[in-house]
Chains A and B, each alone.
Chain A
Amino acid sequence: MAVTTMAKAINAGLRKALENDPKVLLMGEDIGKLGGVFRVTDGLQKDFGEARVIDSPLAESGIVGTAVGLAMAGYRPVVEIQFDGFVYPAFDQIVTQVAKHRARSSGRTPMPITIRLPFGGGIGAVEHHSESPEAYFAHTAGLRVISPSNPVDAFVMVQQAIASDDPVIFLEPKRRYWDEADLDDTVDIALAQSPYAARVVRQGTTATLACYGPMVRTCLEAALAAEADGLDLEVIDLRSVSPLDIPTVAASVRKTGRLIVVHEASVFLGIGAELAARITEECFYALEAPVLRVGGYHTPYPPSRLDEEYLPDLDRVLDAVDRALAY
């Protein structure tokens, strides 16, 4: 056990994957000598060589498109897109090729590709460096979309994503890269919880907060603050947004009667909208209030001086809890 940041935990997970499977290789811009702009791949090229940790040309469509070919040649590519807002040149390859190849080939051509994508805001960055594009990917059949909220999950889930024969969009909450936790790097990923299963990270009875990635910490802080007001909030870390673990959320809502979904992405047609619809179907008679959503607005991500006004925070989560309780 050692205290580790999320960035270092992902690095350790990537290292394990490289050690355990000679077919795993990493590719991306600046991931080799520099170790990535967030240093997530620090030292990996030095230890595993330039053939397995590849500094790519500056071309995102090229990175993902060649990953398709590498996968067809029997490799297990783990590619990094440097920032969320730079993924769109690769969007065509991801949606039309990566996502569909397995189905088109009747399962003969799996796409064991992991696309690592630092996402989300709150780091005071310039335009295109703070976005939350998960709904685009979740809307695409054939992709799995997951996001760790803490270093331990990050270590395990990145290895699970790499081991999967399905393509996985691995969303790394960049503002939590420096969050720390005790990490046991001997954990056997075969025995670990499925990355597609949600986890109740705080038990409660008053209302349920469902969240993932960067918002898990925000929701846990909100739940702690709400204790002072006598509110006992349950917090669910969804961990995966495609697939969504509906049974775990439904079980919680049957207990609390209220659900608030929290994400940084715009609420319009977002993950929260899907959860609201599903939970309304599954738990209609258990609901004491409509499912509420807290998230980004239907605007471009604003200049960073408005980060705080744009991003859901503790107050906005508690405001939604108040509204849910007022029904």
Chain B
Amino acid sequence: MTADGGPELVQLLTPEGERVHHRDYDVDLTPDELRALYRDLVLVRRVDAEATALQRQGELGLWAQLLGQEAAQVGSGRALRPDDFAFPTYREHGVAWTRDVDPLQLLGLFRGVTNGGWDPHDHNFALYTIVIGDQTLHAVGYAMGIQRDGTDRAVITYFGDGATSQGDVNESFVFASVYNAPVVFFCQNNQWAISEPLERQTRIPLYKRAAGFGFPGVRVDGNDVLAVLAVTRAALQNAREGNGPTLIEAFTYRMGAHTTSDDPTRYRVAADLEAWKLKDPIERVKVYLARSGLADHDFFDAVEAEAETLAIGLREGCRSLPNPEPESLFDHVYAEPHSLIDSEREEFVRYHASFAGGQH
């Protein structure tokens, strides 16, 4: 497995910012759309950086960084129609951005004030799933549902290279294949599952797994937002037209740690990181925009200023996120009254009231 993704890698914008063409995939974007993608990438990276800083300051218990994966997430997220549905892992902050989820809502889970954060149906974006790979089956089930509804909507599900070893992910491939479900499997191969390199999960390029399940697989430069957009659009269109699932392997790199609890210096070499820095997903878009005269300094400065404002808002918003009411423990466990929950809630209230009365 070559470190550069090999000749099969679909690329439309080189790391040097050169627009190239591919025999099967292309995008035709207006200057406004190109600038909007750049803005997305910068703002998403800023959300990630701010959240990482908030964790360091003790405002978040944990943060799962997306640094380096902005193009994979923004490109695929922007390929979706509003009525498509996305099933994320816990690192899809960039996809969440494209689904209009307020970044502050992403922080709640990591601050420990909620186990959810947003209404999936408001955004057609499921809640984050921490257990590795579980959401891929949910995505296939959702796809089977809309297939029966007779719509031309499509579903996308996200997972990582590590997750491809999980039984659930392989089962999701089987279900999607045999039912021809309108789903796109979007694997962000960021080369690392915490400390374990890709070689611990597979001996063949991941996109080639699809062939064994009976649907197409494609490897795209995950740091190339244009290529990701093109490939994902095509896969979604394929699903809409009743041609079933596609596996997209977005070849990228986890520039940060697995989470803020992780220390990657224990298991990987700095040289790899340096090599990937040259393939930065944002820099190449900036170079392309500047060189083709599609954006000037004023535009780039305005995006930076917007990122700063976003960061300030996030910082202030995070610090003022309220702790949940203790009694909310008992909310929403069941739809209908449940005698055990009811009695435990009464006992809980009585117990806590005893402190207020100064009995302890």
Contacts and interface: CB of A to CB of B under 8 A. Distances in A.
Genuine A/B complex: yes
B109 A33 contact: no
A127 interface: yes
B267 A300 contact: no
Contact of B194 (A34, A61, A89, A305): A34
Contact of A58 (B90, B165, B344, B354): B165
A35 B266 CA distance: 9
Contacts of B360: 315, 319
A4 B27 CA distance: 60
B258 to A, nearest CB: 9
Interface in B307-360: 323-324, 326, 328-330, 333, 338, 340-341, 344, 348, 351-352, 354-355, 360
B132 A310 contact: no
A306 B324 contact: yes
Contacts of A315: 355, 360
B167 A58 contact: no
A231 B111 CA distance: 39
A290 interface: no
A178 interface: no
Contacts of A128: 130-131
Contacts of B267: 33-34
Nearest to A123: B61
Given A59-B165, A305-B111, A126 B62 contact: yes
Contacts of A61: 167
Interface residues of B, number: 47
A89 B167 contact: yes
B166 A89 contact: yes
Contact of B193 (A58, A85, A305, A309): A58
Contacts of B262: 37
Nearest to B327: A309
Contacts, number: 119
B201 interface: yes
Contact of B115 (A33, A59, A302): A302
A62 interface: yes
Contact of A62 (B114, B165, B266): B165
B112 interface: yes
B115 A297 contact: no
A113 to B, nearest CB: 19
B246 to A, nearest CB: 23
B104 interface: no
B132 A300 contact: no
B218 to A, nearest CB: 23
B163 interface: yes
B114 A86 contact: no
A316 B25 CA distance: 63
Most-contacted residue by chain B among A305, A316, A319 (CB, 10 A): A305
Given A34-B195, A299-B329, A305 B165 contact: no
B113 A62 contact: no
Contacts of B114: 303
Contacts of B112: 124, 126, 303-307
A60 to B, nearest CB: 8
Closest CB pairs A-B (n = 5): A304-B112, A34-B195, A57-B165, A58-B162, A309-B326
Given A57-B201, A86-B132, 17 more contacts: A30-B194, A34-B194, A34-B266, A34-B267, A58-B193, A61-B167, A88-B131, A89-B131, A124-B61, A125-B61, A126-B109, A128-B131, A299-B329, A302-B115, A303-B115, A303-B324, A305-B324
20 contacts: A29-B194, A33-B195, A55-B196, A57-B162, A57-B200, A58-B163, A61-B167, A89-B167, A89-B168, A127-B109, A127-B130, A297-B329, A297-B348, A298-B333, A299-B329, A303-B112, A303-B115, A304-B61, A309-B326, A315-B360
